[in-house]
Chain A
Amino acid sequence: MEPTLKFFSGFAPNDLWYMGEAALRTLWISVLSISLGTVLGTLFGWMLYEGRRAAALTLAPVLDVFRSVPLIIQLVLFYNFAPIVGLNLDPFASGTVILTVYTAALVANVARGGIEAVGAPMRRAGRSLGLSYWQDLRHVVLPIGGRAVFPSWVGVALGVMKDSALVSVLGYVELLKASQILITRTQEPFLILALAGAFYFALSYPVSRYATYLENRWAQ
């Protein structure tokens, strides 16, 4: 029994460092995908709004696929598809691509909702003041529509942050994967899971509370 006992070494300060690094990787891939996905998704949302029938027939069903297939399946599929078309992507790159497109698919609906929330009369008012199409988009639609859907966007962003845990399936050692590895080695599942959970919670809870607070304040 001696060697086994040595192998299961218990939780050491070093391991905390290891988890911290993994947490940073979770943050990094989340921030990257959410940023890129938001830009892409806003563009898609605008296309859905302006393109009307054409977009409804082409873009909408494609985006719909990303919302109707489990993220984990998307990740595995893309990771195994990339080499077939001659792309050699590491787990991080594959994960980022899929998380970005996944974010974009969710943000597209949010963004379209935001543009619709502004309403035609308000936009006509803007245009009647002599604003160009782009000025109207920048100075009327973005601030008003953006505010209307900001809470939904926060929801999407936090969702993607939590879902980034799934990139572990490709072997990317983010926080949950690191936790799993440590649990196997240290046999301290409760402590390690509590730490990991606390990290996600500490990130997600204040942000979602703040979004709710803003939503209530703006609603008045």
Chain B
Amino acid sequence: MFDYNFHWRPVMKSLPDLLEAAALTLQVAVLAMVLGIVIGLCLALARLHLRGPVYWFATVWVELARNTPALFQLFFFGFGLGAFGLHLSPYLIVLAGLTFNCAGYLAENFRGGFKAVPETQIRASRSLGMTPWQAYSRVVIPQVFRIVYHPITNQMVWAVLMSSLGMLVGFRELSGETQFFASRSFRIFEYFAVTAVIYYAIVKVILLSSRLMAARLFRY
């Protein structure tokens, strides 16, 4: 049954390249998350407080991001925009697709977070003479941040996992790089096994550091 000889040496040789690609994976995921948090916050506020075209724009964004495959979204930023003569680099395709997706999911988390903070917290703040902005930034947002902290962590994990789709649009992040080496050496299993371990480690590090940070941030 096991007439297959595992060859790990070539994989080990390209390990530095793989780790470098892993850094690229992390970079694009973090960037997409930062952009996604900012945009997601705006989308959530638009859906909570605005009407008319801005509300609909935000709603369509959120629903498209949540109800179509991430790969579809990447294809859209890849081939789809090509229809309008706009050709993004693989890096930008992945960044745009991930940002679009993360912003949509995070927007819903933020919306839930805002709804979970009672209206009376704003009233109490305003009764102390705070401006609406002070009430929001000093009282509401810190509480929302705590509520969405774990969803943000999960989304960060998703962003890392999702960035592997870069492989299908020619972006040489960790998966793309792995595929590149694997197809040259025909050691597909070995290469992807090592890559799986790297992903696993990245995810665990994210979850662990998130937990450590939470212990420092939230003492209440």
Contact = CB atoms under 8 A, between A and B. Distances in A.
**Is there a contact between chains A and B in the complex with CB atoms less than 8 Å apart?**
yes
Interface of A: 65, 68-74, 76-77, 80-81, 83-86, 158, 162-163, 165-166, 168-169, 176, 179-180, 183, 188-190, 193, 196-197, 200-201, 204-205, 208
B199 A69 contact: yes
A180 B67 CA distance: 19
8 contacts: A68-B204, A70-B162, A72-B165, A80-B188, A166-B165, A180-B75, A197-B68, A200-B69
Nearest to A204: B67
Nearest to B199: A69
Contacts of A200: 67-69, 72
Nearest to A26: B69
Interface in B195-215: 195-196, 199-200, 203-204
Given A176-B72, A193-B75, A201 B67 contact: yes
Given A190-B80, A205-B63, A208-B67, A76 B192 contact: yes
A72 B161 CA distance: 9
B83 A189 contact: yes
A204 B68 contact: yes
Contacts of B167: 72, 169
Nearest to B1: A86
Contact of B79 (A83, A86, A189): A189
A76 B69 contact: no
Shortest 10 CB-CB distances between A and B: which pairs? A70-B164, A190-B83, A189-B79, A204-B67, A162-B69, A68-B203, A80-B189, A84-B4, A165-B69, A70-B161
B71 interface: yes
B9 to A, nearest CB: 18
What size tier do the contact residues of chain B reach? 35 or more
Interface of B: 1-2, 4, 63-64, 66-72, 75-76, 79-80, 82-84, 157, 161-162, 164-165, 167-168, 175, 178-179, 188-189, 192-193, 195-196, 199-200, 203-204
A205 B67 contact: yes
A65 B200 contact: yes
A179 B79 CA distance: 11
B196 A69 contact: yes
A1 B63 CA distance: 42
A165 B70 CA distance: 9
A77 B179 CA distance: 11
B140 to A, nearest CB: 23
B203 A73 contact: no
Q: Name, among A179, A180, A193, A201, the residue most crowded by chain B CB atoms within 10 Å (CB to CB).
A: A193
Contacts of A190: 80, 83-84
A85 B1 CA distance: 6
B116 to A, nearest CB: 13
Contacts of A74: 196
A73 B192 CA distance: 7
A147 B22 CA distance: 41
Contact of A81 (B175, B179, B189): B189
B199 A179 contact: no
B151 to A, nearest CB: 13
B63 A73 contact: no
